[in-house]
């Protein structure tokens, strides 16, 4: 338990500085769980960038902007501008189940403007992987997509990950 606690403390201590690891890992969403929505729009940028916030270790594995709509053919959800879909894996390093609150997550563009997760779109792009929308068990890692409805042509710079709406947050680079 001491080793686990020390590891979690060490990860939290570097939460303000996102770290990059080599890219090239296959995209989680490209292999299922809402992947159909990622097939339209611009090319998917494959990333592997991680940030720690509270009990969560969040890794951004891909970003795709320029998506005009998400959801099944009969329930399409159009973007007001365009969707930027941020693929993530979230690990709960804590001892209790926790929710990665989608409403607390923000994408920040190159101009410093922050955008919230589009809740309706999140339900559609995570329809096959609902665990990202539910509590994450201790020690479990889940994957999913955080959709952001941004003005057309927006370039995202960072994802600000929050354990809860009132937490300090950590920045994970999207470029």
Q: Which residues on neighbouring strands pair with residue 108, listed in sequence order? A: 114, 158
Q: Residues near 67 by Cβ (< 8 Å), separated by ≥ 6?
A: 37, 38, 40, 41, 42, 79, 82, 83, 84, 85
User: Is residue 2 pLDDT above 90, yes or no?
Assistant: no
Q: How far is Cα 12 from Cα 90, in angstroms, rounded to an integer?
A: 14
User: What pLDDT is recorded for position 12?
Assistant: 35
Return the closest-CA partner of residue 127 out of 18, 35, 7. Answer: 35
Q: Stretch 137-152: mean pLDDT, rounded?
A: 94
In the chain, what percentage of residues exceed pLDDT 70?
A: 71
User: What pLDDT is recorded for position 49?
Assistant: 85
User: Is residue 55 pLDDT above 80, yes or no?
Assistant: yes
Residue-range domains of the chain with CATH: 2-173 (2.60.40.1240)
The tens digit of pLDDT for each residue in 64-86 reads 999 999 998 888 999 999 999 99
Q: Stretch 15-24: mean pLDDT, rounded?
A: 32
User: Is residue 136 pLDDT above 70, yes or no?
Assistant: yes
User: What pLDDT is recorded for position 126?
Assistant: 86
User: What pLDDT is recorded for position 9?
Assistant: 34
For the entire predicted model, the pTM comes to 0.72
User: What pLDDT is recorded for position 16?
Assistant: 34
Q: Residues near 31 by Cβ (< 8 Å), separated by ≥ 6?
A: none
Q: What is the CA radius of gyration of the chain?
A: 15
User: What pLDDT is recorded for position 62?
Assistant: 92
User: Is residue 32 pLDDT above 80, yes or no?
Assistant: no
CB 86 within 8 A of CB 107: yes
Where residue 165 falls among pLDDT bands split at 50, 70, 90? confident
The tens digit of pLDDT for each residue in 99-119 reads 888 889 999 999 999 999 999
User: Is residue 35 pLDDT above 50, yes or no?
Assistant: no
User: Is residue 30 pLDDT above 50, yes or no?
Assistant: no
User: What pLDDT is recorded for position 145?
Assistant: 94
Nearest 10 degrees: Cα torsion 57, 129, 113, 155: 100
Q: Residues near 93 by Cβ (< 8 Å), separated by ≥ 6?
A: 4, 7, 8, 11, 52, 55, 56, 57, 139
């Amino acid at each position: 338990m001491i080793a686990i606690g020390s590891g979690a403390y060490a990860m939290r201590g570097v939460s303000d500085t996102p770290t990059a690891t080599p890219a090239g890992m296959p995209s989680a969403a490209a292999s299922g769980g809402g992947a159909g929505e990622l097939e339209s729009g611009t090319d998917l940028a494959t990333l592997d960038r991680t940030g720690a916030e509270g009990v969560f270790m969040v890794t951004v594995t891909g970003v795709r902007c320029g998506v005009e709509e998400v959801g099944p053919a009969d329930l399409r959800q159009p973007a007001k501008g365009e969707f930027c879909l941020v693929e993530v894996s979230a690990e709960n390093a804590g001892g209790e189940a926790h929710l990665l609150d989608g409403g607390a997550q923000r994408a920040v563009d190159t101009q410093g403007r922050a955008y919230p997760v589009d809740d309706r779109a999140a339900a559609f792009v995570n329809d096959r992987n609902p665990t990202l929308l539910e509590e994450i068990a201790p020690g479990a890692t889940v994957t999913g997509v955080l959709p952001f409805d941004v003005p057309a042509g927006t370039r995202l710079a960072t994802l600000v990950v929050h354990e809860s709406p009132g937490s300090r947050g950590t920045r994970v680079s999207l470029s």
